[in-house]
Amino acid sequence: IPKAEKEEEKDIVKREDGSYLVDGLVTIDEFKDYFKMKKILGEKSNNFHSIGGLIMTKVGRIPIVGDSFELEPFRFEVIDMDGNRVDKVLVVPLSKIKNKH
């Protein structure tokens, strides 16, 4: 009997603190669907299709771990790179950040 295949990693994982761990390959459409968003600011005027592409566009270069920016209603922070590819992104709702102060 073959071993069961490893469970596929989820692309968007909600963490206990209310933040999300998002794979850089998640498409903009998948991200919008998950968070029930109509649009992401700048998606029409820029040529990006994934969360990794969004981050590269916002920082203006190949990102490094620790790069972050705010784009309503979230704060995005690069937490892992795979070579030149954005691997994992921490996405924190700005409402969570503001409630901590």
Alpha-carbon distances, residue 56 vs 18, 47, 73, 84 (angstroms): 25, 11, 19, 10
Residue with tokens 């469970």: 7
The pLDDT score that the predictor gives to residue 80 is 98
Q: Give mean pLDDT, residues 10-26.
A: 96
Dihedrals φ, ψ of 52, to 5°?
Answer: -60, -40
What would be the CATH architecture of the domain defined by 12-100?
Answer: 2-Layer Sandwich (3.30)
Return d(Cα 77, Cα 44) in angstroms, integer.
22
Q: Is the separation of the CB atoms in 57 and 46 below 8 Å?
A: yes
Average pLDDT over all residues of the chain: 89
Query: Domains of the chain: which residue ranges?
Result: 12-100
List pLDDT tens digits, range 26-70. Answer: 999 999 999 999 988 888 888 899 999 999 999 999 999 999 999
